[in-house]
Structure 1
Amino acid sequence: MASLNMSKRTRVIRQKTAKIADVARLAGVSVATVSRTLARPEVVIEETRTRVLAAVRDTGYTPNISARNLRVRKTMVVLVAVPDIANPFFAEVLQGIDDTLSAAGYGLIIANLAGSPEKEARYVDLVCAGQADGVLLLCGHVMRSPDRDLRDAGVPLVAACEYIPRESFPQVTINNVDTAREAVRHLVELGHTSIAYLSGPNFNILEQQRLEGYRQALHDAGIATDASLILPGDFTFRTGVEAGRTLLALKPASRPTALFAANDEMAIGLIKTARAAGLQIPDDLSVVGFDGIAYADYCEPTLTTIVQPRRGLGATAAAELIALMTNGRAEPQKDIKLPAMLMLRDSTRPPRRSG
């Protein structure tokens, strides 16, 4: 019955423009508590903060921007959405973001989404409640809650690292297709004709673009794509280890002589597993990664990889967002591509077998 009453109240409130008193009534707190939660959420206990933000969402309440000294530069805080903070790729991206925001007087909130719709919804509520002046999306999609997304917050958005199709806000990325093709072309030029591919999750646009680059390089060299040489992965060390075990289970004559991994973590996991089983890298198997994380220069052997301008991606995206927040630039750059490079190290050489 209580939930039914809540539902009735919510429907009644949504029939008119919601006021802060409506939020307070639905959350069971005072108007002052709602104001404090929206102005300084860190001083409100989590249980109360959760109730207030849920009431903000349920009522559709939007703070009166003009009455609160305009939206621009109000909080001096930017929210940065990261798919997985444990991924070492994002460390330098975040450093580039932080350096640029700090120089302009902004702080940041890191939203570690970790694949959780509930966490994502809470961060959407936070932004819609007026707690950030802009959002940097490193997660490959526009964050959403069950009944709205970030566009409803009316704040500037900029994406980086993962391209989000069909969006009009600025996006800062590299050309994944061309750089993946360059990585595989390097293996072809060394003389490899049996080249495996260790993939990311197939729904991820980075995976789709890097797989396309792999296929294009093979096609350019007159090598047919062999579906049995495309190994499943998800950008983690763990799936690199699993792929290594898959290769070791093949008869030596059937193993590929080279492998291109869609990211460095998987490449390093595969190398570790292969070497532990007695396979020589690169004599028995040449390996190329993608990203240029710090570990690539310290694993054994050091990893040939595509080095992304990680700090530059973060700094450029942050600068674009600052321009939107401060100037309201009418025509922001829509699609910004930064250069990446193939770094040759010790994990690749010509195949031991010829012909």
Structure 2
Amino acid sequence: MTIRKLSIFGLAALLLLGACATKPPAAPEPEPVAIAPVEPAPAPKAPEISKEELDALHGRVLALRKEAFGLGLKDLMAAEYSVAETRYVAGKTALDADDRPTARTELGAAEPLFADLVAKGAVKVAGMRKADASAARDRAMKEDAGNLSADSLAVADALLAAGNTALAAGDAKAAIAAYTNAATAFDAVEKRSTVVTVRNRVDELLFGPMDSGNYELAGRKFAAVDTLLATDPDAAGDSAAEALLRYRLVLAKGWELVAGGKRDDAQRYKTDSEGIKAQVAVKGAYAEAKAVWDTAAAAYASGNHEAAAALFEQARSLFMTVYEEAAAKRSAAQEAIAAAAAKNQESETIAMQGDVTIEASAASGKE
């Protein structure tokens, strides 16, 4: 029983070993898996550029561009202006064509360029305006503004000081405005000082009544200068110019009338001199007086009445001397003629008396 079991177990083991040694059949090849093509991810869309955004950008650039042009930077800083202008033109062209990306790029580049141009240019312009104001002040001082227009000069000086303060604070635009006003104010002060000089001359010569309308208008315009100077230097300058014009018209009218009167006086002596043949009796003196007369007449005809007045006065004096000298010669000649005539009469009387005596003697002898 035991041997039989062992045999059975041995046979089973052999069968098992044989089974393990047998190669299993190959597994079938798997079906290839089709791979779907991978689509590339869509590019992210550029953010939408609105028309409103571009219009606002263009408005800012345009304002800066206008400011730069107004400051004169197209000429003063030509190279920098040209660079900014090129970007602006490109942006504006793109904007008109509705090429929004290009418009934003170009206008966006132009904005800081113009902003920087204005910032730097304003400082330069402020310096130039300050120089203008200083030069205007010098001109006013040459017209003796310190004495003739002291209060007005102080007003203009205050505007100049305001410009200096603004420039020191870095506000170039405010400095430009203040310096511009100061220069205009100093010009008005210069004119005002000239007005005072001309008005004083008119009053000294008593010419006011000779052209009362212009004299009164000049006074009103002159008073307006001081009223307007601090708040509206341009208007103050206009008033000063008008006052100066009117006072000069009064002065011119006065000299015209005075010269006319002196011409008439000289004419009377000239006529009287010629009436007694002074051009023959005192030929040299007459020629001198006539030359001055001719010069005076030419000055009067050209409108230089002040010079004509002095020349006619000189001619009057010369013709008066000519007349007196000619009259003296005439009187002497007349006296000589009278004396000669008297002498001739005396000779005739003596001769007649002699004849009578002779005749009487002859008659006596006959008796």
TM interval, shorter chain, is under 0.3
The structure in which a higher percent of residues are strand is 1
**TM-score normalised over the length of structure 1:** 0.26
Q: Greater helix percent: which structure? A: 2
The normalised TM-score by structure 2 is 0.25
Larger Rg: 2
Task: Tell which has more relative contact order, 1 or 2 (C-alpha 8 A, sep 6+).
Answer: 1
